[in-house]
Structure 1
Amino acid sequence: MRTRHTLAAATAVALLALTGCGTEPEPDAKAAASATADPEAQYLSRAHDIKFNGAPSDGELTALPPQWCDALADGHSVEWTFDPTGGDLYPIGQEWGTVQQDAYTLLVAGVRAYCPENLDTVKDELRESGDY
């Protein structure tokens, strides 16, 4: 009797494998899932939607979120993080810049992708200031 149940279970597993249950996701679904799992791709996707004064490189843009996350992890505010006498991490380069509202959008995208545990705090601070 035990042999029949084991054989029946093995047959059911084999049939499921042959009928496609448990197969790899479609390539498009797999690519979409990996894009959302990749913080850099997620962040740059949003960053590329922002209109900058000039043209920052992806390297310049991706250098910012880890620094923002470090500042937030140390307990600093968004205001301190962007302030030139504080963290001095406002998104601006030698030949590019962005307006404050877009800087906040970029910050939120970076925090969402790289340190989502700080996202609520950042959004709350921006909302309280009336800037988000």
Structure 2
Amino acid sequence: MRTRTTTVAALIAASLLALTACGTEPEPDSPAAGPSVSATTDPEAQYLARAHDIEFNGTPTDEELTALPPQWCDALADGHSVEWTFGPDGADLYPLGQEWGTVQQDAHALLVAGVRSYCPEHLDTVTDELREGGDY
């Protein structure tokens, strides 16, 4: 009888252990968490991590890159479109500098990265507009 009680107790303990493991999430620094940018990372770091993966004609500085998202967010908060924000007849905030530039597809990817990091409340509006134009 004692063996049966011990076996049943062990099975119950194993079941409870398995159930508690199902509800846990990996620690942020564990390999299971992956290399994604955490929600606690500051917007600049999130944005630059994405921006550094974009192809540029030339090499923009981080200062040049980080100057753009707050301006984009201001234009979007004022109700302007991506076309107006980037266009010469609007805010003229297309991502380019004296020694660097980028093609439109990469400019849109940079804009999405900036909006996702600095003003995510405008992300759906931006991605919807880009999708409608076939650019995203």
Work out whether the TM-score is over 0.5. Answer: yes
Deviation at 1:28, TM superposition (A): 3.3
Match of 2:110 in 1: 106
TM-score, normalised via structure 2 length: 0.72
TM-score, normalised via structure 1 length: 0.75
For residues 33 and 128 of structure 1, do their structure 2 counterparts lie closer, same or farther at Cα, with a shift above 3 Å needed?
closer
Deviation at 1:84, TM superposition (A): 1.1
Mapping of residues 19-98 of structure 1, within 5 Å: 28=29, 33=38, 36-98=40-102
Distance 1:47 1:33 in 2: 16
SS at 1:63's partner residue? helix
Deviation at 1:72, TM superposition (A): 0.1
Deviation at 1:77, TM superposition (A): 0.1
Structure 2 unaligned blocks of 5 or more: 1-25, 31-36
Cα RMSD over matched residues?
A: 1.9
Q: Which amino acid aligns with 1:33?
A: S
Aligned residues, how many?
106
SS at 2:66's partner residue? helix
For residues 28 and 91 of structure 1, do their structure 2 counterparts lie closer, same or farther at Cα, with a shift above 3 Å needed?
same
Distance 1:124 1:76 in 2: 14
SS at 2:95's partner residue? coil
State percent identity of aligned pairs. Answer: 81
